[in-house]
């Protein structure tokens, strides 16, 4: 028999301790009610951006070189990235981070004030 132990919700812990000026990106894998669950997680976890995919969909997930995601932002912006290679998905995530930080007036990464 395997005894399960609860673990710390890392994203929620980071979200609750997020310093001003930090952009927190979380990732979620869903199998149903993808958009609804993602929107709820984005609010509950305190993330600025949540990248979510439907791991039950064909051609996505860990076993594939492709993925399809929704990128949801706490400021209400969102983006659908249709099925594409994972490098393109990563680029879309980084573009979203830059956009969110620009809208918030945050300095570019690496700049110190």
Place of tokens 């809208």: 103
Contact of 15 with 47, CB cutoff 8 Å = yes
Burial of residue 12 (CB within 10 Å: 0-12, 13-18, 19+) is middle
Q: What is the mean pLDDT of the chain?
A: 91
Domains of the chain: 23-104 (3.40.50.10300)
In terms of Cα–Cα distance, which of 66, 74, 67 is closest to 99?
Answer: 74
Name the pTM for this structure: 0.85
Q: What does the pLDDT look like over 57-94, one tens digit per residue?
A: 988 878 889 999 999 999 999 999 999 999 999 999 99
């Amino acid at each position: 028999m395997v005894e399960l132990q609860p673990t710390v919700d890392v994203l929620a812990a980071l979200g609750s301790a997020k310093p001003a000026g930090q952009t927190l990106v979380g990732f979620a894998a869903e199998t149903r009610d993808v958009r609804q669950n993602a929107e709820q997680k984005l609010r509950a976890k305190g993330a600025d951006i949540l990248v979510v995919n439907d791991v039950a969909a064909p051609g996505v997930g860990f076993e594939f070189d492709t993925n399809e995601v929704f990128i949801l932002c706490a400021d209400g912006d969102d983006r659908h990235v249709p099925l594409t290679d994972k490098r393109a998905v990563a680029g879309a995530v980084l573009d979203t981070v830059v956009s969110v930080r620009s809208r918030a007036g945050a300095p570019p990464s690496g700049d110190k004030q």
